[in-house]
Amino acid sequence: MRRSPRSIPVVVLVAVALGAAACVPPKPPAPTTTTTTSPAGPPPGAGTGDQNGSLGSCPVFPDDNAWNTDISTTAVHTNSTNYINQILADGGDFLHADFGGGGAYGIPYITVPGTEPKVPVTFVDWADESDPGPYPIPLGAPVEDGGDRHVLAVDRGACKLYEMYNAWPRSNRWDASNGAAWDLRSNARRPDTWTSADAAGLPIFAGLVRYDEVAAGHINHALRVTFAVTQSGFIYPATHEASSSTNPNRPPMGLRLRLKASFDISGYTGQARVILEALKKYGLINADNGSNWFITGAADARWDDDDLNQLKGVPGSAFEVVDTGPIHTG
């Protein structure tokens, strides 16, 4: 397993970020407190995977939310073939699980009770597109290993999701490039052209492959994916573009893809099989610039790398793009 070279909202290869993504954020100084990295086991306070990936009494967005919508019979996009061919031409031909490695890879998350004290947050890059703090995220919360340094927390009392990008714990606060708070009982989007802790302005947690869901034998939501070069534009529920490319065949943020019904998954087993079944029913949502076909999962020591590596045998040509709405531009 290896890490994908992505960072929100930096664009890789030929794409150049627009708006809030106009430049690479400066690297903050080293943290003054010790950072907790990927957990050795399941994320602290993690719930079990229920309908639509709910956590206890909290849904992970309503049943009719885009992330939770069954797209197995949604019409194929008229530009599907061109999208897929362009993605393949821009590099990377097969699926890749961007998580595993004994918990070293993937994005960690925690859940906290409604009584969790709130901690001040200073947004150092895109404060004008961030939901103001304080956030109920303890300074010892796990931080994603690597350049993106995402921090994710679910408040189980209020059923709210808090996410930060490029987050650094200080002695009495968090510093982060930007952040977003989400009501897990609502379908409300970010304002148009706003980013989030993800380039596309989407919630990261909603698209994670979580171990507890896979162990239960079903994932009931779409999964987050990255592509190397994207188009200037976004499809709802995405709200932010991260490219200046006007090539109509490149994937805009929010593009929805589905593993073809004709693709035979009978020979796949275990964790990979559960993921592939979800890709036929719920598909992938383009959420960031990064390595082609990299699917994002939660950091968890219980992943079986040998099992997940079966995904490397699934070609991008086995996917099709479905039509979920028009492309918007900022």
**Where do the domains of the chain lie?**
32-322
Strand partners, 319: 259
Low-confidence ranges of the chain (pLDDT < 50): 1-52
**pLDDT number for residue 92:** 87
Alpha-carbon span 330 to 317, nearest angstrom: 30
Given a contact cutoff of 8 angstroms between Cβ atoms, the answer to whether 204 and 150 are in contact is yes
Given a contact cutoff of 8 angstroms between Cβ atoms, the answer to whether 195 and 20 are in contact is yes
**pLDDT number for residue 204:** 98
Token pair for 185: 């009982």
**pLDDT number for residue 16:** 30
| CA angle (197 as vertex; 109, 164 as ends), nearest 5 | 55
**pLDDT number for residue 42:** 45
The gap from C-alpha 89 to its chain's centroid, in whole angstroms, comes to 23
Strand (E) or helix (H) holding 213: helix 211-216
Count the neighbouring beta carbons within 10 Å of the beta carbon of residue 131.
17
Alpha-carbon span 241 to 286, nearest angstrom: 11
Strand partners, 58: 55
The per-type count for the chain, helices as H runs and strands as E runs, is 4, 13
Strand (E) or helix (H) holding 151: strand 151-155
Given a contact cutoff of 8 angstroms between Cβ atoms, the answer to whether 228 and 91 are in contact is yes
